Amino acid sequence: MGNVISDAAAFEPRARAAVGTIDYARTARIPWYVWCLTAAITSQAIGGYWDISWHISIGRDTFWTPAHMMTYLAGVLAGIASGYAILATTFGSSDSAKDTSVSVWGFRGPLGCFMAAWGGIAMLTSAPFDNWWHAAYGLDVKIVSLPHSMLAFGEAMINFGTVILVCAHVNRAAGAYREKLNWLLLYSGGIVTFGSALFILESTPMEMMHSARFYESVARAFPIALIAISCVSSSRWPATTMAAIYMGLFIAGLWIFPLFAAAPKLGPVYQSITHMVPLWFPVLLIVPAIALDVLRRLMGKRWGRWQAGLVAGFVYIFAFVAAQWPFADFLISQAARNRIFGTIYFGYSDPANLLYNPYHFMAHEGPGEFAFGMALALLFSIVFCSIGMAIGNWLRTVQR
């Protein structure tokens, strides 16, 4: 085990005591367990998208679908990577590895690995629970069921653990090695943003894009990751990069999934399905992300204070509404009914009667209720932008 941890420590930034900074050579390698955790969050993101598409295209025919296996592979990968890092640090002989670790129940390892390990356990525990839930109660009525919430908690722990682990490496590195880690951090942030979009999917279809509930959901889902990771990243456009990764992955799914054949295996079937049904076009998160990046540069050292959170909340929600509101009109129009924007796809259980018209905005709210909801969206935006800055300030200090 001593040789194992010595090899692992060769990839670790050797801190001066516990918190020093090292400029790695251009050939420095990122530890394999960091890559493994990155693969885990990628697996759960792709698996989550695939699973939702499977449900609306085919139905839940069995627990052992490829989409489920892709999702739960994330828990396995997180367990392997985190378990290795924790056991190698605990029982190895490297003082530098122990100096850049935390202690939990007598075990030592990176803080992010402990979080990801618990996330992996939660994910794998949710698997038999989800199977029992379907056997007892039938099909999912909504995405956010009790076992799915447990699964989402595990996924969030793995996501957050991965971000913390990468941030710790970034904070201990400099030079070319730090730049490599910075790109990995932004990629991880893009995957976290992608997962957040999946979790609020039921509140973000095109017919709800003129409702306050839609903007409330977007105000809660995205600001924390965009701002927190931006506080650590050395990139000039960190939030923009993360938003672009999220949107690029969603668009890729929209264009690629319909290329594969599929047919419903459950009823009632209202729509004729011959291929996988993708999820809808992503929200225009890149617009408020650009606004946040510009604001961050304008505010300079004031970025991260509560006053900055207040301003960022206003900028985020107003930039998003300004972009998404007219774009929603476009999505409803005839011009968007093509494979590029994807408003031609429907799940097999979507209604198909003569009165059904999916190309209109749902009128859930009266004027007063809408105004109250938009004020609430603004409040959420301010609160979650402020939380993102608080977490970002903490992430800048993480060394272990």
User: pLDDT of 288-302, one tens digit each?
Assistant: 999 999 999 999 888
Contacts of 313 (CB under 8 A, 6+ apart): 223, 378, 381, 382, 383, 384, 385, 386
Indicate if the pLDDT at residue 384 is higher than 80: yes
Indicate if the pLDDT at residue 400 is higher than 50: yes
Indicate if the pLDDT at residue 23 is higher than 50: no
DSSP designation for 222 = S
Residue 366, SS3 per DSSP: coil
What pLDDT band is residue 19 in, cutting at 50, 70 and 90? very low
Cβ-contact 109, 82 below 8 angstroms: yes
Domain count, the chain: 1
Question: Quick one: what percent of the chain has pLDDT higher than 70?
Answer: 87
Does residue 219 lie within any of the structural domains?
yes
Average pLDDT in the 311-335 region?
96
Indicate the residue type of 358: P
Contacts of 75 (CB under 8 A, 6+ apart): 40, 119, 120, 121, 122, 123, 124, 154, 158
Indicate the residue type of 116: A
What's the CA gap between 201 and 282, in Å, rounded?
A: 10
DSSP designation for 104 = E
What pLDDT band is residue 12 in, cutting at 50, 70 and 90? very low
pLDDT at position 389, please? 94
Question: CA dist 204 to 207, 281, 316, Å?
Answer: 8, 10, 17
Exposure of 273 by Cβ count < 10 A (0-12 exposed, 13-18 middle, 19+ buried)? Answer: buried
Q: Would you tell me how many other CB atoms lie within 10 Å of the CB of residue 334?
A: 8
Instruction: Note the pLDDT tens digit of each residue in 247-271.
Output: 999 999 999 999 999 988 877 888 8
pLDDT at position 301, please? 81
Does residue 259 lie within any of the structural domains?
yes
Give the range among 13-22, 279-288, 311-320 with minimum mean pLDDT: 13-22
Cβ-contact 45, 195 below 8 angstroms: yes
The distance of Cα 290 from the centroid of its chain, to the nearest Å, equals 18
Tokens of 16: 């001066």
pLDDT at position 64, please? 80
Does residue 95 lie within any of the structural domains?
yes
Pairing of strands 173-174, 107-109: unpaired
pTM: 0.87
pLDDT at position 145, please? 65
**Average per-residue pLDDT in the chain?**
86
Indicate the residue type of 65: T
Contacts of 59 (CB under 8 A, 6+ apart): 139, 264, 265, 266, 348
| Domain coverage including residue 17 | 2-395
pLDDT at position 218, please? 96
Establish whether the linkage from the previous residue to 268 is cis, with ω within 30° of 0.
yes
User: Which residues face 173 on adjacent strands?
Assistant: 22
Cβ-contact 180, 28 below 8 angstroms: yes
The distance of Cα 63 from the centroid of its chain, to the nearest Å, equals 24
Q: Would you tell me how many other CB atoms lie within 10 Å of the CB of residue 279?
A: 20
Does residue 87 lie within any of the structural domains?
yes
Does residue 400 lie within any of the structural domains?
no
pLDDT at position 100, please? 76
Give the range among 42-46, 105-109, 148-152, 324-328 with minimum mean pLDDT: 148-152
What's the CA gap between 253 and 314, in Å, rounded?
A: 31
Q: Would you tell me how many other CB atoms lie within 10 Å of the CB of residue 11?
A: 16
